[in-house]
Amino acid sequence: MSAMKMIEVYTQNGLRKVRPYYNKRSAFVKGRWLGKPLVDILANEFKLRSRDYYLEQIEKGTYKLIRDGVPLAANRLLATTIKNHDILETTTHKHEPPVKQWCSQAIEADDSAGRIAGFKVVFEDESILVIDKPCGVPVHPTGQFYQNTITELLKSHGVNALPCYRLDKITSGLLILAKNSQSAGEIQKNIRSRDMSKFYLARVRGKFPHSDSVLNNEKAVNVIFQDSSNTTVEMSPIYSIDPKRQFPVGLSASRDAITQFYPIMYIPHVNETVIACKPITGRTHQIRIHLARLGHPIVNDSVYCLHISKYPERLKFMMQFPGWENQPGLDTENLRIMFQRFIEESRNICQTKKTYCPECDTVELNDPLLSDLELCLHAWRYEDTKGKFKFQTELPNWAQLSSN
C-alpha cells in the first residue's frame, strides 16, 4: 500500500525530472519481528544507518506502527514491542534519477496520434500493447526509479500493462506489454520455449565480417540471415560482475550464450557498421558483451567499448576470461584480488563532490550525461516461428543511410 502527494515533473537540458516528493508505504509486520522493538528491527535489518539514526527518525514520524487502526505515538512506539497484525508505515523523501526526455510535453500529453504518453504505438488490441521504447527510460520501477518508468507513465495515461520481457534502460525499440496476466503468460512462455525470434540492430566499430558480401544499404534489413555464409556466430559464456557486492556473491556463474550477427551496411568514412543481431539465448547484456569479444563493440557503449569504457579493468577481465571458472591462474585468492580492483574502479567513478538534501540528508543525485542514456542497440523485430506473431519498429536514425 502506498500514498503520494502530487508529483511535479519538469524538463531541463534534455532530461525529464521529478521533483523530490514524500511517499508513504504501509505493510503488515513480518513474523520474525514479533516481540521485538521496532528500533532494533530497523537497526539490524537496515545496517546502512546507525541505531541512533533510526531512533531520531521514529521520533520525527518517519516510521510509525499502526495498531488496531490507530498510529502509536512515538514515545509509546519506543516503549512497546511489535505485535501480530501491526502495520508498519514508512514515509520517505524520494529522489528519482532523471531520464532522457523522449518527446515534447505537448506530444506526451496528446494520445490521439498513434502515441500513448508520447511513446509510438506499434500495435494495440484488447490483450497487448506494443510500443517503440525510447532509449534512456527504464521499463518498470526498479531501484530509485518509479515515476520515470514506462509502466508508470502508461498508467498515468490510463493504461495498465505488464512488460513481457526485459529491455535495458538505455536500449530502445520494440517492447511488448500485456494488459492481463494471461496474455503475459502466453508471450513469456513462447519466449522461454524459443518459439519467438528476436532481432536487434546495432551500430558497431570497424568493418564487420562479410560486410562486402551484402547489399550494404538499409534495404539489406529485408534479407538478414538469409545467407548463412554471411552470418557470424559468437558462442561464449556470459556472467555478471556487481562491484556493489563483495566477492564471491558479486561474481555470477558463467552461463552458455549464443548470438548470431549479420552485416547490413558499412559506413567507411567513420569505419562503423550497422548490423543485425539475433540472440539465441537471453543473458544479461549478451549482445553487448559478445560484440566486445568479437572486437566490434557498439560505438557508444560506455561499459563494453574499451575505447570509451568507464570500467576498463572489468571489461578486460570479461574479454580475457569468457568463462572465469576453472581458469589457470584464477584461484580464489586471485579472483578476490581482481574483484577488489573492480570495486575500487567503481568507487573512483563515483568520487564526485556530494551535496545533501536539506530535508532528508540524502545524497542528491548528479544529472547523468545524455550520452550515458543512449546506446546504438535497438530491439527491431519480434516474430514467432509460425509467422502468426510479428511486430517491427521503424529503423532508428543511426541505422538509416540518409542519416550517415
The residues with which 175 forms a beta bridge, in sequence order, are 131
207 Cβ partners below 8 Å, 6+ apart? 266, 268, 271, 273
CA 95 to chain CA mean position, Å: 18
Q: Quick one: angle between helices 38-45 and 51-60, nearest 10?
A: 130
Cα–Cα distance measured from residue 198 to residue 382, given in angstroms and rounded to the nearest whole number: 5
106 Cβ partners below 8 Å, 6+ apart? none
Q: Is 111 a catalytic residue?
A: no
191 Cβ partners below 8 Å, 6+ apart? 164, 165, 282
Annotated active-site residue in 40, 110, 111, 168: 168
Hunting for cell 500493462 — which residue is that? 161
Hunting for cell 572489468 — which residue is that? 314
**Contact by Cβ (8 Å): 211, 205:** no
**Contact by Cβ (8 Å): 287, 202:** yes
Cα–Cα distance measured from residue 341 to residue 348, given in angstroms and rounded to the nearest whole number: 11
Helix H or strand E encompassing 175: strand 172-178
Residue 160 corresponds to which amino acid? Answer: N
Q: Give me the phi and psi of 214, to 5 degrees please.
A: -115, 175
37 Cβ partners below 8 Å, 6+ apart? 78, 80, 81, 82
Q: Give me the phi and psi of 163, to 5 degrees please.
A: -65, 140
Q: Would you give the DSSP letter of residue 227?
A: S
Q: Would you give the DSSP letter of residue 186?
A: H
**Contact by Cβ (8 Å): 365, 97:** yes
353 Cβ partners below 8 Å, 6+ apart? none
Hunting for cell 503520494 — which residue is that? 4
Hunting for cell 552485416 — which residue is that? 263
Catalytic residues: 168
